[in-house]
Amino acid sequence: MVTARKLLLILLALLLLLTAWLWWNRPQKVDMAAYVPADSLVFIEANSLPRIAGDLLSTDAWKQLAPFDDVTPTRIHWLTRFAAWTGIGTAEAVIFARSQAAVALMDIDAGRAGEELTLNVKPRAAIVLETHTGERRVRAGVEKLVGNFARRAYGNPRIERRETDEAAWIIWTAPEGERRIVSAVADSVAIIGNDEATVAACLAARRGERPSLAGNADLEAMRGRVEAADALASGYISPQSAARLTVLAASVYAAQSALNPRAQSTAAALLPQLVDRIIGGAAWSARLKGDRIEDRYFFGIKNNLAARLQEPLAPSTESTERASELLPSDLYQLTHYNLRDPERAWRGLNATLSSQLDVLYAPFVSRFLDTALEPYGIETPATFFTAAGPDLWTARLDDTGESTLMIAGVRDETRLRAQIRKRLGARTRSERIGDAELLISTDEERGAASFVANHLIMGAEGDVRTALQTRTAATRTLATSDAFKRAQHNAPESDGASVITYTDDRAPTRSFIYAIARLRQNTNAQRNESFDQSLAALPYSVSTTRVVEGGFERRTLSSFGQFGAITTLFETNATS
C-alpha cells in the first residue's frame, strides 16, 4: 500500500514537472515589428505558419487541385502542435511549428528598359523568422531548407560562410554571380534575403541599433482597421512609403498606358502635390472565410477627404449586373461602378482633389481626370455622364490588358449618339450583328460602338464585335457561367460598395499550385484535362470597394488571396 502511494506521488510529481517544462518551453509570442527597420517600404507579419498552412489546405481550391495526398489539415494540426509545445522533432519541423515570420521590403528601384519606365523585379527584401528555438538547431534547419532551395534554383551555387559578432552568415550565389540568397542566424532569429544590406538592416533593428517599427502608433491603428489580431497574416505601409510607392506606380502606369503626352506631363506636375496632401498609410490582412481566402485592405486618405467623398461616391440601390448578359463566358475581368449619380461623382472627385492643390495647379485636375478617361472612349466626361448611367462597367476579355470595353446604361440616347458620332469620326461604317448595329470608325484607334438592349458598348472593334456575337448566341454569356454565378453568390458584403470587380482566378490559382509543387519537388502536378476542368469550375475572385471613415476599404474573396501572389512572387524573384 505504501509502495503504491509512493509510486502515485512520484508519477504526480513527474506529471507536474512535465507540465511545468512544457509550459516553460512553449513559444512566447513577440511583436515582429521590432525585427524590421522603421523605414521599410512594406511590412508583412504572420504569427503562426501552421495555421496559415492548415487554412490554405482547407480551401476548396486546394481540395480540388492539389496533387499531394500526404498533406492534410489534421496531420499538420497535431504534428505541429506537438513539435511547438515540446520542441521535439527535426530542426525543420520545429522551426515551422514555432516560428513567427515577418517580411520587410526595403526598396524597389525604378529604371528604364529601352524607352519605357519599368519596375525592377528584384526588390531588396528579407524574411525574418523568430523561431523560438535554439541557435544550433536554427542554423542546421536554415542551411538545409535554404540550401536545398538554392540548389534547385541555381543548380550549383557558390557557398560562402562566415562568422561575425552579430550572426552566422551563409550566402548562396548563382554561377553567373548576379543572383544570391543571403541568410544570417543570431540566437533564435533567422533572416533570409536577396541583399546583404537588407539582412544587416534587420539584424540591426532587432538589436536596437536601428529604429524599428515597434511601438509605431500608425501601425497599431492600421492593424485595428483590418482586424489584424485574428488574421492569418497582415501587412502595413506607412504614409511616407505609400506616397513613394504611389508616385512610382503612377509614373510607370502613365508611361506604359495609352495616356497621351499631355496627360503624362500633367500627371507628373500634379502627383507630387496630390500624394503629399492626400495619401495616408495602407494595411492588409487575410483570413479563411468559408472555403476561400478573404483579403481586407484599408487605404487611408488625409484631411477628412473620405467624409467629403461619401455623398458623391454613394452607391446606387437599384443597380443590376446586366453587363454579364452582353459578355462572353470566358471573360477575364468585369468591373461594375455602382454609382448613384456618375456625373455627380465625377464633379465631387474633381472638387475634392482640386481643393488640396495650390490655385495655380487646381485647374489641371479637371484636365487630367478628363484625359484619363480617353482610353475608354470618353472625351468629355461631364457631358457623357449626364446622358449615360447610372450603371457603368469596364471589361477585359483577356489578361493581356491591351484593350478594355466600356459599357454604360443609356439615359439620353440622342445625346449619347451625338457624342459617339464625334468620337468615331465623320466617316463611320456600320454593319448588323443580330438585331444590333455595329458602328466602326475608319480610324482603328477610335474603335467601335453599339447601342443594344438600352446599353452603349464602346471599345476596340474586335472586342465590341465579340460582345455582340455573344449576345446573339445567348448561350455562352458570362451570366450563364457557373464560375461567375458562384462568385456572385459567395461575394463579400456588397452593401455600400461603389465598385465591384470580378476577375478570372485561374491563372493565380494555377501558379500557386505549381509553385508549391516545385517547392516540394513534386513534378507530377496534375497538369491534365481533369486539372483544367476543376480549375475552370472555381468561382471568379470578387472585390468590393467602398468609402469608409478615413479612407477606402476593399475586400477580396479568392482561392488563395495574397498568399498565392506572395508565394509566386517569392519563387519568381528567387529563381530569376
Candidate from 60-74, 464-478, 502-516 with smallest mean pLDDT = 60-74
pLDDT tier at 367 (50, 70, 90 boundaries)? Answer: confident
In this prediction, residue 490 carries a pLDDT of 73
The pairs formed by 75-83 with CB atoms below 8 angstroms and a separation of 24 or more are 76/50, 77/50, 80/50, 81/50
For residue 258, pLDDT beyond 60: no
Q: What are the residue ranges of helices labelled H in 99-187?
A: 135-154
Q: Can you tell me the distance from the alpha carbon of 256 to that of 118, in angstroms, rounded to the nearest whole number?
A: 8
341 and 475 inside one domain = yes
199 and 314 inside one domain = no
pLDDT tier at 211 (50, 70, 90 boundaries)? Answer: very high
The residue from 453, 476, 500 where one domain ends is: 500
Q: What are phi and psi of 254, to 5 degrees?
A: -65, -40
The residue from 500, 535, 568 where one domain ends is: 500
Amino acid at 6: K
The residue from 500, 516, 551 where one domain ends is: 500
322 and 466 inside one domain = yes
322 and 188 inside one domain = no
DSSP SS3 for 28: coil
314 and 204 inside one domain = no
CB 513 within 8 A of CB 528: no
207 and 343 inside one domain = no
Instruction: Enter the pTM of the model.
Output: 0.87
Q: How far is CA 559 from CA 50, 59, 398, 483, 511, in A?
A: 18, 7, 19, 12, 12
pLDDT tier at 70 (50, 70, 90 boundaries)? Answer: low
Q: How far is CA 264 from CA 258, 259, 271, 358, 361, in A?
A: 10, 6, 10, 20, 15
In a domain, 31, yes or no: no
207 and 335 inside one domain = no
In a domain, 151, yes or no: yes
CB 369 within 8 A of CB 321: no
pLDDT for 265-293, tens place per residue? Answer: 666 667 777 788 888 999 999 999 999 99
**Between 542 and 249, residue with greater pLDDT:** 542
pLDDT tier at 110 (50, 70, 90 boundaries)? Answer: low
Q: Can you tell me the distance from the alpha carbon of 299 to that of 304, in angstroms, rounded to the nearest whole number?
A: 13
Q: How many domains does the chain have?
A: 2
351 and 463 inside one domain = yes
316 and 207 inside one domain = no
For residue 24, pLDDT beyond 60: no
**Enclosing H/E stretch for 99:** none
Cell matching residue 192? 533570409
CB 44 within 8 A of CB 233: yes
In a domain, 165, yes or no: yes
- Mean pLDDT, residues 117-146 taken together: 84
Cis amide leading into 390 (omega within 30):
yes
In this prediction, residue 161 carries a pLDDT of 95
What is the domain extent for residue 434? 309-500
CB 439 within 8 A of CB 419: no
Q: Can you tell me the distance from the alpha carbon of 26 to that of 318, in angstroms, rounded to the nearest whole number?
A: 55
In a domain, 520, yes or no: no
Q: How many CB atoms lie within 10 A of CB 45?
A: 25
Cα angle 543, 539, 72 (rounded to 5 degrees) comes to: 105
In a domain, 267, yes or no: no
201 and 313 inside one domain = no
In a domain, 196, yes or no: yes
In a domain, 377, yes or no: yes
In a domain, 288, yes or no: no
For residue 25, pLDDT beyond 80: no
Dihedral (CA of 88, 91, 96, 100) sign: positive
Q: Can you tell me the distance from the alpha carbon of 408 to that of 375, in angstroms, rounded to the nearest whole number?
A: 15
